[in-house]
C-alpha cells in the first residue's frame, strides 16, 4: 500500500507537472514566434519602402551611366539604408541581417555565428523561422524576402528567447524540489495512514492465529464503523459462534464418554454377579435353597440386562425411525395411563389424581404413553412411602400442556440440566436398587423430540418436582 501509493502519486505528479511546464513553454514560444514574424514583417515593409524610393531615384538620376556603375551605387545605397534602419521595441532595437539574391550577406547588425541556410528553403513569397543557439543564448531566427522590382533580397531578424529556456529550467528545478517535498510529505502521510488502516488487520491476523492454536476466547476491539470495523464485528461473531460450537462438541464428547463409562458400569456390575454365582453353582456343592437363591439372582440380573438392552434398542430405533401420528381424545389417553399406574400407586399408598380438559391430541399414543409412564414411575421412586402425584391436562392459551407433579424428594437446580442424559441418575444407589439404569428420561426426551414437544422441569429439594410438557397440534373440542 505504501510503495504503490507513493509510486502512483509520484508518476501522476510528474506527468502533470511536465505537461503543465511544457504547455506553458510552448504557449509562450508560440507568442514569441508570432512576435518575431511581426518584427520581420515590419522590417521588410520598411526596407521595401526605402529601397523602392532609392531604386526610383537611381533610375532617374543615373539612367545614362553604365550598368556596373549603377549596380555599385545601388548596393552602396542599400547598405546605407540598412545601416540607418532601426526599429525599437520594448526589448530594444531589433537585430537583423540583409542578404542579396545570391544569399551573400550585405549587412549584419548583430555579430552571430549563425548560417543562413534557412534562406535556401524559402520561396519568393514565403517566410520561415528556426530556433538557434549562439553563445549560450537562444534566438528565434526569422527570414523573409524583400522584392525590389526583379531583384529579391532576404531579411533575417533575431529575437532573443533565452529567458524562455531559463524559465523552463527554473521551473524544472522548482519541480524537482517540490517533487522531493511531495514524496517526503505524502510518504509520511501514507505511512501513518497505512499503519492506521493495517493495524486492525494485524490484530485480526494475531487473533486468527490464536484461534488456530485453540484459544477460542480471542476477540478484537472495534474502533471504527468502516469496512474494517464491520470485518472485526463479523470476526467476533464468528469467534463467539466457533467457541460455542467447540464447547458443544466438548460437551457432546463428554456426554459420549460418560455414556460409555456408564454403560460399561451398568454391564459390569450385573455381569460380575452373574459370573460369580454361576461359578459357585459350577464349582461348589450347595444345598437346594442356596442353589435356588443363586439361580434367582442370576435370573434377576439377566432380566435387568435384558431390560437395559431393550431400552438402548428403543433409543436407537427412535433416532432412526419415522412414526405416524394419530388424533387421540385426551380423556381416553389419560384414562389408559391412570388404569396402568393406579394399582401400583395404591399398593405403595400414593395418592394419584388425574384431571384432563377436553382436547384432541396429535401423537403416537404408544410412544407418548411410555413418556408419562416413565415420568410417573420417576415420581413414585422419589417417595419413600406414601405421597401425592398428579397428572393434569389443560389448555394454556393456544397450547395444550400436560403436567406431572409430585411432593417427593425433589432435585437440586444443578441436576435439572443433566437428568435427560443417558445413564444419569440423581441417586444412583437408590435407582439401581429399584431397577433403574438412568435411561428413562433419555428415552422420553427422544420421544418428545419426535413430537416437536417441549419438556420443562421445576424442582425444589424436599418439596417435590413438576414436569410440564407442551404439545403441538392439539385441537379444542
pLDDT in tens, 1-15: 778 878 888 888 888
- The helix (run of H) or strand (run of E) holding residue 388 is strand 388-396
Determine the pLDDT at residue 284.
81
Determine if the pTM surpasses 0.75: no
C-alpha of 48 from chain center:
81
Interaxial angle between packed helices 67-84 and 2-61, expressed in degrees from 0 to 180 and rounded to the nearest 10: 130
Whether the pLDDT of residue 407 is over 60: the answer is: yes
d(CA 10, CA 19): 14
Contact indicator for 32, 140 with CB cutoff of 8 Å: yes
Give the best-scoring range by mean pLDDT among 27-31, 239-243, 247-251, 370-374.
Answer: 27-31
Q: How many Cβ atoms from other residues are within 10 Å of residue 406's Cβ?
A: 25
What is the DSSP secondary structure assignment for residue 387, as one 8-state letter? Answer: -
Read off the pLDDT of residues 165-184 as tens digits, 9 standing for 90 and up.
999 999 999 988 988 888 88
pLDDT digits (tens, 9 = 90+) for 197-229: 777 777 778 788 877 887 777 777 767 777 777
The pLDDT assigned to 142 comes to 93
Per-residue pLDDT reduced to its tens digit, 221-275: 767 777 777 877 787 788 888 888 888 888 778 767 766 665 565 566 567 778 8
Question: In residues, how long is the chain?
Answer: 477
Position 34 confidence tier, pLDDT thresholds 50, 70, 90: very high
Question: How far apart are the C-alpha atoms of 450 and 325, rounded to whole Å?
Answer: 10
Identify how many contiguous H helices and E strands the chain contains and give both numbers: 10, 14
Amino acid at each position: 500500500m505504501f510503495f504503490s501509493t507513493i509510486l502512483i502519486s509520484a508518476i501522476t505528479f510528474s506527468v502533470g507537472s511536465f505537461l503543465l511546464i511544457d504547455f506553458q513553454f510552448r504557449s509562450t514560444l508560440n507568442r514569441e514566434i508570432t512576435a518575431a514574424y511581426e518584427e520581420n514583417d515590419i522590417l521588410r515593409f520598411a526596407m521595401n519602402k526605402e529601397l523602392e524610393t532609392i531604386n526610383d531615384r537611381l533610375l532617374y538620376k543615373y539612367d545614362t551611366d553604365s550598368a556596373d556603375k549603377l549596380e555599385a551605387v545601388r548596393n552602396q545605397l542599400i547598405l546605407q539604408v540598412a545601416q540607418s534602419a532601426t526599429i525599437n521595441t520594448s526589448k530594444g532595437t531589433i537585430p537583423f541581417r540583409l542578404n542579396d539574391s545570391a544569399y551573400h550577406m550585405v549587412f549584419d547588425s548583430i555579430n552571430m555565428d549563425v548560417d543562413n541556410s534557412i534562406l535556401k528553403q524559402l520561396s519568393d513569397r514565403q517566410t520561415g523561422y528556426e530556433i538557434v543557439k549562439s553563445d549560450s543564448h537562444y534566438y528565434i531566427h526569422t527570414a523573409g524576402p524583400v522584392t525590389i522590382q526583379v531583384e529579391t533580397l532576404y531579411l533575417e531578424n533575431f529575437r532573443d528567447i533565452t529567458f524562455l529556456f531559463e524559465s523552463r529550467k527554473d521551473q524544472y528545478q522548482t519541480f524537482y524540489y517540490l517533487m522531493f517535498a511531495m514524496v517526503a510529505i505524502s510518504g509520511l502521510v501514507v505511512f501513518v495512514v497505512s499503519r492506521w488502516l493495517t493495524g486492525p488487520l494485524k490484530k485480526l491476523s494475531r487473533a486468527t492465529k490464536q484461534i488456530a492454536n485453540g484459544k477460542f476466547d480471542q476477540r478484537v476491539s472495534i474502533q471504527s464503523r468502516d469496512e474494517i470495523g464491520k470485518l472485526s464485528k463479523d470476526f467476533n461473531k464468528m469467534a463467539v459462534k466457533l467457541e460455542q460450537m467447540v464447547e458443544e462438541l466438548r460437551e457432546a464428547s463428554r456426554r459420549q464418554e460418560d455414556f460409555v463409562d456408564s454403560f460399561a458400569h451398568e454391564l459390569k456390575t450385573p455381569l460380575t454377579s452373574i459370573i460369580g454365582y454361576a461359578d459357585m453353582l459350577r464349582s461348589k456343592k450347595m444345598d437346594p435353597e442356596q442353589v435356588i437363591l443363586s439361580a434367582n439372582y442370576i435370573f434377576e440380573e439377566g432380566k435387568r440386562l435384558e431390560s437395559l438392552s431393550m431400552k438402548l434398542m428403543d433409543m436407537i430405533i427412535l433416532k432412526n425411525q419415522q412414526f405416524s401420528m394419530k388424533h387421540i381424545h385426551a380423556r381416553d389417553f389419560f384414562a389408559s395411563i391412570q388404569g396402568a399406574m393406579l394399582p401400583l400407586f395404591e399398593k405403595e399408598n400414593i395418592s394419584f389424581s388425574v384431571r384432563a380438559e377436553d382436547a384432541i391430541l396429535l401423537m403416537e399414543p404408544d410412544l407418548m404413553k411410555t413418556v408419562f409412564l416413565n415420568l410417573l414411575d420417576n415420581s413414585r421412586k422419589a417417595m419413600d412411602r406414601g405421597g401425592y402425584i398428579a397428572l393434569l391436562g389443560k389448555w394454556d392459551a393456544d397450547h395444550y400442556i400436560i403436567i406431572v407433579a409430585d411432593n417427593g424428594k425433589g432435585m437440586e437446580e444443578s441436576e435439572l440440566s443433566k437428568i435427560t442424559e443417558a445413564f444419569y441418575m440423581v441417586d444412583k444407589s437408590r435407582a439401581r436398587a429399584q431397577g433403574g439404569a438412568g435411561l428413562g428420561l433419555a428415552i422420553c426426551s427422544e420421544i418428545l423430540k419426535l413430537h416437536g414437544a417441549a419438556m420443562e422441569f421445576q424442582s425444589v429439594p424436599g418439596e417435590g418436582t413438576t414436569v410440564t410438557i407442551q404439545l403441538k397440534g392439539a385441537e379444542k373440542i
